[in-house]
Copies of this chain bind each other. A is one copy, B any other.
Amino acid sequence: MKQLEILDTTLRDGAQSEGISFSVSDKLAIVKVLDEFGVTFIEAGNPVSNPKDMEFFDKAADLQLKNARLCAFGSTRRKNTAVEEDENVRSLLSANTPAVSVFGKTWDLHVTEVLRISLEENLAMVSDTVGYLTKNGKEVVFDAEHFFDGYINNPEYALKVLKAAHKAGAAVLCLCDTNGGTGPLEVYTITKEVCRVFEGARVGIHCHNDTGCAVANTILSVQAGAVHVQGTFTGIGERCGNANLSAVIPTLQLKNGYECVNGRLEKLTNAALKISEISNLSLQSNLPYVGASAFAHKGGMHIDGVNKISKSFEHVEPNTVGNKRRFLLSEVAGKNALLAKLEGIAPGIAQQKEQISLILNLLKDKEHEGYQFEAADASFELLVKRALGLFTPHFSLDMYRTSGEYPSPDGETNASAMLKIQVNGETETTAAMGNGPVHALDTALRKALTVFYPQLAQVHLIDYKVRVLEAKQATGATVRVLIESADGSRKWTTVGVSTDIIAASWEALVDSIEYALMRQN
**Among A94-102, A346-354, A463-471, which stretch is in contact with chain B?**
A463-471
CA distance A298 to B241 in the complex (A): 12
Contacts A50-B332, A435-B476 hold; do A315 and B483 have CB atoms under 8 A apart? no
Stretch from A57-65, A134-142, A213-221 at the B interface: A213-221
Flag the segment in A76-84, A125-133, A281-289 that touches B: A281-289
Provide the residues of chain B in CB contact with A397, threshold 8 Å. 406
* Contact in complex: A500, B435 (CB < 8 Å): yes
Choice from B328, B438, B470 contacting A18 with Cβ under 8 Å: B328
Question: Is the beta-carbon distance between A468 and B466 smaller than 8 angstroms?
Answer: yes
* Given known contacts A468-B464, A471-B465, A474-B461, A299 and B238 CB-to-CB distance under 8 angstroms: yes
Q: A212-B288, A213-B215, A247-B211 are in contact. Are A183 and B502 (CB under 8 A)?
A: no
What residues on B are CB-neighbors of A474 within 8 Å? 442, 460-464, 483
Docked pose: A286 CA to B235 CA in angstroms: 10
By the criterion CB–CB under 8 Å, are B296 and A183 in contact? no
Determine if A233 is an interface residue (Cβ-Cβ < 8 Å): no
Pick the residue among B220, B284, B502 that contacts A436 (CB under 8 A).
B502
**Which B-chain residue is minimally distant from A256 (CB atoms)?**
B183
Nearest 7 Cβ contacts at the A-B interface = A181-B315, A216-B216, A461-B474, A436-B500, A212-B215, A212-B247, A435-B499
Residue from B19, B240, B311 in contact with A291 in the complex, judged by beta carbons closer than 8 Å: B240
Q: Is the CB of B298 within 8 A of A251?
A: no
Chain B hits for A402, CB < 8 A: 403-405, 437
Among the listed stretches A108-116, A155-163, A267-275, A384-392, which one makes contact with chain B, having 4 or more residues with CB under 8 Å of it?
Answer: A108-116
The yes or no answer to A72 lying at the interface (CB within 8 A) is: no
A197 CB, min distance to chain B CBs, angstroms: 22
A25 at the interface (CB under 8 A from B): yes
Residue of B nearest to A466 (CB): B466
Please provide the chain A residues from 252 to 306 with a CB less than 8 Å away from any CB of chain B in the complex.
255-256, 280, 284-289, 291-302, 304-305
21 A-B pairs with CB atoms under 8 Å apart are A18-B293, A21-B331, A23-B469, A46-B332, A49-B332, A179-B315, A183-B256, A211-B255, A212-B251, A213-B215, A238-B298, A239-B286, A399-B405, A401-B404, A404-B503, A406-B503, A436-B479, A439-B500, A464-B471, A464-B477, A466-B479
Q: Which residues of B contact A223 (CB under 8 A)?
A: 185
Contact B470 A296 (CB under 8 A): no
CB-CB contacts below 8 Å: A9-37 with B: 15-19, 21, 23, 25
Report if A122 contacts B (CB, 8 A): no
Q: Is A106 an interface residue (CB 8 A)?
A: no
The docked-state distance in angstroms from the alpha carbon of A460 to that of B415 is 27
Instruction: Tell me the bound Cα distance from A214 to B224 in angstroms.
Output: 20
Closest B residue, CB atoms, query A285: B18
- Give bound CA distance, A442 to B288, whole Å: 41
Give complex CA distance A215, B17 in Å. 22
> Are B372 and A21 closer than 8 Å at their CB atoms?
yes
Closest to A214 in B: B212
Question: For A471, what are the chain B residues with a Cβ–Cβ distance below 8 Å?
Answer: 25, 462-465
A284 CB contacts on chain B under 8 angstroms: 284
Of the residues B75, B219, B305, B506, contact of A110 by C-beta under 8 Å: B305
